[in-house]
Amino acid sequence: MKHTSSILSVIIFLICFSCKKEELPINITTEDYHNSVDKLTEVMIHDIFSPPVASRIYAYPNIAAYETLNQNNASYKSLGNQLNGLTKLKSEKADASTNLKLASLIAYIDVAKELVFSKERITAYRDSLYSNWKTLNHEDFNKAKDFGLEISEQIIAWMNADNYAETRTMPDYNIYTDDPSRWEPTPPAYMKGIEPSWNKLRPFVLDSAAQFKPITHPKFSLEKGTAFHNELMEVFNINNAIRAKGDDSEEIAMARFWDCNPFVSVNKGHFMFAKKKITPGAHWIGICKIACKQTNSDFEKTVYAYTKTSLAVADAFISCWDEKYRSNLIRPETLINKYIDLEWAPILQTPPFPEYTSGHSVVSGASSEVLTEIFGDNFAFDDTTELPFGLPMRSFKSFRLAAKEAALSRLYGGIHYRAAIEVGLDQGIALGTLVNAKISFLK
């Protein structure tokens, strides 16, 4: 009897040992990475982050994932000593058997949770993934976790030195002035100007926030025939003409598709609430996802594409906001209501910051240049980014054409003058070109 029991014990041990030896590495796919980016977008929409702040939130987790994946990659270079303030990272907890894809996803999530208000939402998402990964292969998970957190800790330390925390206590925008050209809050919420000190952040690629300082906007004047007055009347007349076409016009469809305003205020009786949407940066992150999936990009290229796009978006906001609070230009809505038509309202709700240059134009120009460099010119795609928000798909023959439409949509929406659109697009293109030339991702 004892002999039989001993044999059974040996058999059970051998079976367990055999099973353990046959455990496979945890399989992390591009879909897992897309899902994590989507989760971060979902939390940002819930928390209603401003467009500039949202751009920062996208950048650091993607950089963490990219660096975790590419400390010793044969095809991709580390961004250490390439991005402002980012030195070469220490990577002592990885060896040839470390699951780098898993580690990069762990690093992404760990950095992401430090950037949002609703940290518990990211933590709950992380814990559900951790539980599944531990079950699949505990040893593989632990090794990847150790390395991923080693990199994320260093990225967080670098992140915390970008001057963001200091800007939280800097002065608000001063709306009290006798200057008739100076921006002032707009209906219906009359919110204060957001992020007036955003140009104080450390850029990622730019030498300074003012590196692509645009030409000055047309001189403010309400005199008929002047360049500024002509642009003001163009906004007024175009919006009136669009409304006359009806709510289903192509121009209104274009304006609404590219609205991407997380500050839309809805009035219901005595109540006012925010209608939650993605930011313009999030829209281009969504286009990046579409391009990655359409080309069946592998995990490494997917992380590379997200990282490069998020860098361009983040520096585009720093560059644009530097000009916005330098020129402090008044919005069309304010002038039209004061001097032309008290009842007039733009097709889109005016966002709460100065007019020049157009943020959508700068961000779209920059994003389109880096995406073109990654996926090629004449890259046709169906943009389904706005489907979750009840807006139909729009199709484009290239990223650059999409950027041009995004920029022009701000005129159709009634919230920007033409100069802000055209100069802003050039500003973004110049910035995207810099990212392509200055930062070397590929070996």
104 within some domain: yes
Owner of token pair 């925010």: 274
374 within some domain: yes
Q: Note the pLDDT of residue 68.
A: 98
Domain extent, residue 309, equals 175-438
Q: Note the pLDDT of residue 408.
A: 98
443 within some domain: no
Q: Are 244 and 296 contained in the same domain?
A: yes
Q: Where residue 153 falls among pLDDT bands split at 50, 70, 90?
A: very high
Q: How many C-alpha atoms does 94 have within 13 Å on its Cβ side?
A: 25
Q: Are 357 and 296 contained in the same domain?
A: yes
In percent, the amount of the chain with pLDDT more than 90 equals: 90
Q: Are 379 and 414 contained in the same domain?
A: yes
Q: Are 311 and 350 contained in the same domain?
A: yes
Checking if the pLDDT of 309 tops 70, the result is: yes
Of 115, 137, 162, the residue at which a domain comes to its end is: 162
Name the domain count of the chain: 2
Of 100, 134, 162, the residue at which a domain comes to its end is: 162
Rounded to the nearest integer, the mean pLDDT of the chain is 94
Q: Are 153 and 180 contained in the same domain?
A: no
In percent, the amount of the chain with pLDDT more than 70 equals: 93
Q: Where residue 268 falls among pLDDT bands split at 50, 70, 90?
A: low
Q: Are 121 and 193 contained in the same domain?
A: no
Q: Are 98 and 152 contained in the same domain?
A: yes
2 within some domain: no
- Could you tell me if 351 and 410 are in contact, meaning their C-beta atoms sit under 8 angstroms apart? no
Q: Are 201 and 64 contained in the same domain?
A: no
The CATH number that applies at residue 85 is 1.20.144
326 within some domain: yes
Q: Are 278 and 140 contained in the same domain?
A: no
Q: Are 62 and 184 contained in the same domain?
A: no
169 within some domain: no
d(CA 304, CA 70): 10
The CATH number that applies at residue 384 is 1.10.606.20
Q: Note the pLDDT of residue 1.
A: 47
Q: Note the pLDDT of residue 263.
A: 80
Q: Are 332 and 367 contained in the same domain?
A: yes
Q: Note the pLDDT of residue 424.
A: 98
Q: Are 220 and 365 contained in the same domain?
A: yes
- Phi, psi values for residue 17, rounded to 5°: -65, -40
What are the tens digits of pLDDT across the range 43-95?
A: 999 999 999 999 999 999 999 999 999 999 999 999 999 999 999 999 999 99
